[in-house]
Amino acid sequence: MRHFLLIAICLFLPPAVSADVQVLEGWVTGIADGDTLYVLDTGRNSHKIRLLGIDAPEHQQAFGERSKQSLSQMTYHQTVSVDWESRDIYGRILGRVRIVSALCRQHDCPRNFDVNLEQVRLGLAWWNKKYADSQFPGDAGTYENAERQARENRAGLWAEAHPLPPWRWRYANRLEHDTVKP
């Protein structure tokens, strides 16, 4: 119960954002997979967003489609805020995506529900500890705890005996554009 309360509190705390962080506000127009989506900003520019700190199963992997569906249910055709500082080698914005919590009943609710964290909490993505140092302050520990809790609860992909991390799956399948080694 204590773990649940901690996760619930973390989900609704305002995110910590430093002075260097940019915030992109926009409308989600598409979902590529469980950790990548498209956002149209107010200037009608499209941005490909890679969810920072997580790695979701690939389409061909177990839970790949379920992870994509989860991200779609949370964000598709929703207004989001994306906190970000950098891009990856493919030009995608690496960001933390925030939406209005489904629990908020006011008309002017803040966008402080962390979608990246929710994917991990549901067992539909791994916390990618290899990139923990690129996450926002406090996020790595929160995501690590969420993954540990998902594993203990056998949520989502953790219901399988030995789920294969996507970075290992990509390397084993040798996608030419993948430079991440296990």
Q: Where are the beta strands (DSSP E) in the chain?
A: 22-33, 36-41, 46-51, 54-55, 79-87, 93-100, 111-114, 126-127
139 to each of 39, 116, 117, 142, 161, how far by Cα in Å? Answer: 22, 10, 9, 5, 27
Q: Which of 66, 87, 92, 151 is flagged as catalytic?
A: 92
Q: Which two tokens stand for residue 42?
A: 């107010």
Residue 50 a catalytic site member: yes
Q: Let me know if 58 is a catalytic residue.
A: yes
Q: Quote the Cα angle for 52-55-57, to 5°.
A: 150
Query: Among the options 58, 111, 121, 170, which is catalytic?
Result: 58
- Three-class DSSP category at 69: helix
| Annotated catalytic residue 44 | no
Q: Record the tokens describing residue 52, joined without a space.
A: 């920072």
CB burial of 149-158 (b: ≥16 within 10 Å; e: otherwise) equals bbeeeebbbb
Q: Which one of 50, 96, 98, 111 is the catalytic residue?
A: 50
Which sequence positions are flagged as catalytic?
50, 58, 92
